[in-house]
Homo-oligomer: A and B are copies of this chain.
Amino acid sequence: MLVVMNTDAAQADISAVIERAESLGLTTHLVRGAERTAIGLTGDLQPVMQDHFIQLAGVQDVVPISKPYKLASREFHPQDTVFDLGGVGVGGDEILIIAGPCSVESRTQLLETAEAVREAGAHALRGGAFKPRTSPYSFQGMGEEGLQILAEARERTGMPVVTEVMEPDKVPLITRYADVLQIGARNMQNFPLLHAVGECQFPVLLKRGISATVDELLMAAEYLLSHGNRRVIVCERGIRSYETSTRNTTDINAIPVMRGRTHLPIFLDPSHATGHWEYVVPIARAAVAAGADGLIVEVHPRPAEALSDGGQSLKPERFAELVRQVRAIAEAVGRRVPEIG
């Protein structure tokens, strides 16, 4: 951490910063420039410490120089994390594709979709039973009945099931049916939920908040990891920018950035990241070209009748085309989309 002093800071101001730092058990390093002085601090730094200095007299700025996460960091864990999901080695050379509807709407709809995406090459099934909806008047999901239908689809297709958990209390219920817990963008910083999911030791798909930085996403992953849960996937799903031609702005840069900063597997959700079905296939290709380890894609047999996210859902035949095109890209970057079954 670096405490930057004003050009007109008095020697007494500088001494006060040094005293405060020493009282906190830190070591100080004086950097005297022609125009101003800065004080480097080393030792057992906590994020909160920035605030300990910013209001001292003469202080202009306090600059952190270390990332605040450890367990999620590549510096402290250089090897890639790789774990098995439905027979695919997530985070290794293989690309995992999760597909399914936004919401479970009925037994027929879900089973039809599950079989279609399996046929097309998906490795895991997504489907929401509890839905976070901006409007209280929108469809809120089928609840436990939806979970039962998902479990039945797993029986029939062999695909592991990924579904969203929205509150700590529901973790026991959802882990009875699901294989991977999804934490949605709106809940990335729902800390009681992160604690509960961290403790359950199930694999987690952690989505980036709609305006979270990469480092905030990795801090949220740190909550999960700090409970000993090592099977965490971080997932880019588009961020909010000023551009309105798409629902969100895919932060494709986040893929190589996170690759450098973390050892965790990195996925991308091209459905939410664009919000329009026409853009899903090219962005899925771009994700794998940029280095993503997997995709999660919304598919619906009849998008125009979907109770949620119909505008961004692919029809099964277009999803099959996505798998074919993504497979070609994966090979071009020395990876592969495994064929299952």
Question: Contact residue range for chain A?
Answer: 35 or more
Which secondary structure dominates where chain A touches chain B?
mixed
The answer on a CB contact under 8 Å between A256 and B241 is no
Kindly state whether residue A287 has any CB partner on chain B within 8 Å. Answer: yes
A135 on interface, CB distance cutoff 8 Å: yes
Q: In the docked arrangement, what's the CA distance between A214 and B77, Å? A: 38
Contacts of A156 in B (CB 8 A): none
Q: Bound complex: CA of A241 vs CA of B257, how far in Å? A: 15
Q: How many copies altogether?
A: 4
Q: A138-B47, A311-B55 are in contact. Are A63 and B63 (CB under 8 A)?
A: yes
Query: Known: A168-B167, A256-B278. Contact between A243 and B213, CB under 8 A?
Result: yes
Tell me whether A338 is interfacial, beta carbon within 8 Å. no
Query: Is A171 interfacial (CB-CB < 8 Å)?
Result: no
Asked if B166 and A169 make an inter-chain contact with CB atoms under 8 angstroms apart, the answer reads: no
| Binary flags per residue of A212-256, CB closer than 8 Å to B gives 1, else 0 | 011110010011001000000000000111111110011111111
Q: Chain B residue with minimal CB distance to A63? A: B63
Write out the residue numbers on chain B whose beta carbons fall within 8 Å of the beta carbon of A42.
31-35
Which chain B residues border A169 with CB–CB below 8 Å?
A: 168-169
Q: Does A291 contact B (CB under 8 A)?
A: yes
Binding-face segment, A83-91, A111-119, A120-128, A187-195: A187-195
**Among candidates B6, B50, B190, B249, residue contacting A75 with C-beta atoms closer than 8 Å:** B6
Residues of B within 8 A of A243 (CB): 213-214, 239, 251, 253-254
Contact of B214 with A245 in the complex, beta carbons under 8 Å:
yes
List B contacts of A4 (CB < 8 A): 65
Please give 14 more A-B residue pairs, beta carbons under 8 A apart, in addition to A2-B63, A27-B33.
A35-B42, A38-B65, A48-B138, A54-B310, A132-B191, A133-B191, A136-B226, A169-B169, A213-B242, A214-B243, A239-B241, A240-B242, A257-B279, A285-B333
Name 7 interchain pairs, CB-CB below 8 A, sorted by A.
A2-B31, A56-B304, A136-B219, A213-B244, A214-B245, A256-B279, A286-B289
